[in-house]
Amino acid sequence: MYALDPQRLLEVWERGARRHPIDRALLLFGLAEPELAPEQLADLPLSWRNAAVMTLRLAWLGNPLPVWCDCPACGERMELTVDAEQLPARPGFRPIEVDIDGLRFSPPTSRHLAALANAPDPEEAARRLLAACASTPESLPTEPRHLAALLDVVDAALEQADPWLELSLAVTCPACGQQSEPSLDIAAIVWDELDAVARRVLDEVNVLAQAYGWHERDILGMSEQRRAAYLERLQA
């Protein structure tokens, strides 16, 4: 796992700032699993990516993970924390398949999600994803009602077999009492944190460079404590 020192942090931020969220997630995955070849990452299950990015985040910023979500009923913004001890055990690097009435399905990958970018609607995207995860897509039912039922069964079976595939939180809104289970998009949350830290570091570099005439590489080479000490002196 690569350390997220200030220089590497800004390099990753710069590479991902204008990219699609799937590409950003793969950047984080690559940081968490540097021994894996870059071309492998997109074809690994989303659960592996999610667990690796969470491990990276905990090593970088520690425990717990602050998150927020909006109540689907009243729109109340809820701030929550996720403790590492609440999370499932990290999945091992082993293939996972589920069998539903003789049909076998594997968990989706980042490449599968990228292929859905041009889907006209969520229903079509779900059908395409089901076919991509099926070992024999030609055997899938074609009648819409049966296909929809199979989608629900496969989704539940994969989540049970692979808990990191899509983590969710059980939440009760303090304003209206509505209960919901919002999904936890780990890669998006960690990217937002990285973006905030990168912008703070850039602000610090800007202030110190203007005040002392130092180069960016010299400022980034300082410890966070030393940069903070110089900034305190400028404010004083």
* One-character DSSP codes across 164-233: GGS-B--EE-TTT--EE--B--HHHHHHHHHHHHHHHHHHHHHHHHHHH---HHHHHTS-HHHHHHHHHH
Confidence class for position 86, pLDDT limits 50, 70, 90: confident
- Residue 215's domain comprises 6-90+181-224
Q: Indicate whether 144 belongs to any domain.
A: yes
**24 and 58: one domain?**
yes
Q: Has residue 93 got a pLDDT over 80?
A: no
Asked which of 131, 161, 191 is the last residue of a domain, the reply is 161
Q: What is the number of domains present in the chain?
A: 2
Indicate the helix (H) or strand (E) that contains 28. helix 21-32
What's the CA gap between 20 and 109, in Å, rounded? 15
Query: Does pLDDT of 196 surpass 70?
Result: yes
Name the band, by pLDDT with cuts 50, 70 and 90, for residue 117: confident
61 within domain boundaries: yes
Residue 132 has what pLDDT? 96
Domain presence at residue 171: no
Same domain membership, residue 145 and residue 201: no
Above 80 in pLDDT, residue 105? yes
Single-letter amino acid, residue 111:
R
Same domain, 22 and 69: yes
From the list 7, 87, 90, 65, the residue with the least C-alpha distance to 192 is 65
Where is pLDDT greater, at 95 or 111?
A: 111
Whether 145 and 204 map to the same domain: the answer is no
Shared-domain flag, residues 85 and 111: no
Domain shared by 15 and 125, yes or no: no
Q: State CA 114 to chain mean position distance.
A: 14
Predicted local distance difference test score (pLDDT) of residue 73: 93
Burial (Cβ within 10 Å: 0-12, 13-18, ≥19) of residue 76? middle
- pLDDT-based confidence at 180, cuts 50/70/90? very high
Do residues 83 and 125 share a domain? no
Residue 229 is assigned to a structural domain of this protein:
no
82 in the same domain as 14 = yes
pLDDT (0 to 100) of residue 4: 83
Where is average pLDDT lowest: 36-45, 59-68, 87-96, 166-175? 87-96
Whether the per-residue pLDDT at 91 is higher than 80: the answer is no
Phi and psi torsions of 183, nearest 5°: -75, 150
Q: In this predicted structure, what is the pLDDT of residue 89?
A: 84
CB atoms within 10 A of CB 145: 8
Same structural domain, 157 and 198? no
